[in-house]
Structure 1
């Protein structure tokens, strides 16, 4: 049997379509580098799942991408990073693994008043990793953390502008308004896909912070030490769920009109 050659790539995965915001930043930081994005939409959202389930899926997705040529892994999911990043580094010590986590430090630094809101999933807000970030970086800032249950589910369904979603956004932004935050951190990679809804609800006096660029810069530094700069290739998008939703978000949200996502059963 002839051996199938796999192209070295950057493997990127998320619980669903939200990690496309990270992928976009990665493509800007590493133009021309082959990338494989995997959305676990069949099992999204992770934010309300048990830690054991999130860990199991994280191991399976990472193993799958590495088997298909990934030489660097980006976990484009705050929830999965909080639960599984350490275990993945133990399992794959020879593969650089970049996680994403709520940017408490840059949000606090950007705030004029020290009043910062954090919008994230239930699993992220309740994770020990998030508690450690607050202890390390919140300093004297007043942090209002809100677990935004249900938002990711709407985005994964391709529903990005319904009355039901707007009602959720209104409810979750209310504590931020009550506490007069001047800075709000979008602590889930799905949330920038509906950035206009957050902006409309919080108003022009509140600046929104997201951390995809910092993740991409870290990945670019690691890739430079992993693969030769001449390694170039295309973009592959795949989903464990309906690839049509992934295509819709990539085309409408990011303007990637020529993408053809495929389905993968993992």
Structure 2
């Protein structure tokens, strides 16, 4: 599995709970983070290059794109190039949010790359056509937030969360009752977002559904309680110590990360 940086650790956390006993290789393409603020051609190139590296160097049985932007831009072409490899992507949890919302007024916090992708547009339009009641998706690009989470910059995270949640509130008025976290980095700003949006707004991310889908794709049954968990292999294309620290802080993993150059 890979992400542009440490955000995909939110998905790894769910995968470790869903598939104990499974060997995971996590690559943070931190030399190019965040993907959401790069152009589509570069994101596609990096996605294909990293996927090929993981296949050749680690003999993976499946690939999880733990990045909304990489999924939105490159998953279709990746599946075409690797038809024998099960590939699971992540995308903003719009459909679960529709089921949770009482008002039909749903905010979406995501990167510019995700929101501007054709795949996101198709997803939104499909849901709009399927729902008979009132439904609004208020989309807010969050420039800089993923990068601030990469740096573990609490001050910047707070400032940016304030800016973007205020923009959502101004656009939605009092009806906002669900907000989709459309980037795998954003669950690591959950505490700030919860304080700013309040308990009446449900925050929706995709980590648990992605983990369940991965188990289904692999045809694995949940492991028995107490199954030993081999430590994930952690790889980074820049500053592996930052990945180690993030894995320790958010997942409680004490694993050495290694620098690689796919």
TM-score of the two chains, using structure 2 as the length reference? 0.91
Corresponding residue number in structure 2 for 1:238: 235
Is the 2:181–2:203 contact (alpha carbons within 8 Å) kept by the matching residues of 1?
yes
Q: Report whether the alignment pairs 1:176 with 2:168.
A: yes
Corresponding residue number in structure 2 for 1:25: 14
Corresponding residue number in structure 2 for 1:114: 104
Corresponding residue number in structure 2 for 1:13: 2
Corresponding residue number in structure 1 for 2:255: 259
**Secondary structure of the equivalent of 2:49?**
helix
Q: Which of 173, 178, 181 is the aligned partner of 1:186?
A: 181
Q: How many residues align?
A: 249
Answer with 243-252 or 73-82: which moved more.
243-252
**Secondary structure of the equivalent of 2:51?**
helix
Superposed CA offset, 1:108-130 (max 9, x none): 11001111000000011111111
**Secondary structure of the equivalent of 1:70?**
coil
Q: Which of 247, 252, 261 is the aligned partner of 2:244?
A: 247
Q: Report whether the alignment pairs 1:158 with 2:152.
A: yes
Distance in 2, matches of 1:233 and 1:150, equals 34
Q: Which of 203, 206, 211 is the aligned partner of 1:216?
A: 211
Corresponding residue number in structure 2 for 1:199: 194
Is the 2:63–2:88 contact (alpha carbons within 8 Å) kept by the matching residues of 1?
yes
**Secondary structure of the equivalent of 1:32?**
coil
Q: Which of 132, 141, 146 is the aligned partner of 2:140?
A: 146
